[in-house]
Amino acid sequence: MVQQLCAKVIAMAGKGGTGKTTLTALLIKYLVSSGMTPVLAVDADANANLNELLGLDVDVTLGEIRDRMKTETPQGMTKNEFMEIHINQAVIEERGFDLLVMGQPEGPGCYCMANSILAQVMEKLAMNYRYLLVDNEAGMEHLSRLNLRNIHTLFVVSDPSARGVLTAARIADLTKALQVEVGQKVLVVNRVPDPVPDALDNHVKNAVKKTDLVFGGYVSASEDVFRREMAQESLLGLPVETDVVRQAFEIFGRFLPDGQ
Assign 3-class secondary structure to 109-143: CCCHHHHHHHHHHHHHHHCCCCEEEEEECCCCHHH
Query: Is the pTM here over 0.85, yes or no?
Result: yes
User: How many residues are listed for the chain in this entry?
Assistant: 260
- Report yes or no: 216 and 186 within 8 Å, Cβ to Cβ: yes
48-67 CB burial, b ≥16 within 10 A, e <16: bbbbbbbeeebebbbbbbbb
- Comparing CA positions, the residue from 186, 196, 145 lying closest to residue 20 is 186
What mean pLDDT comes out for the span 207-228?
94
| Phi, psi at 50, each rounded to 5° | -60, -40
Q: Residue 2 pLDDT more than 50?
A: no
pLDDT in tens, 159-177: 999 999 999 998 888 887 7
Selected from 3.40.50.150, 3.40.50.300, 2.30.30.360, 3.40.50.1000, the CATH number assigned to the domain covering 8-255 reads 3.40.50.300
- Tell me: cis bond preceding 38? Omega within 30 of 0 counts: yes
pLDDT in tens, 110-154: 556 667 888 888 888 889 999 999 998 766 766 766 777 788 999
pLDDT at 172: 85
Q: Residue 4 pLDDT more than 50?
A: no
Mean pLDDT, the chain, integer: 88
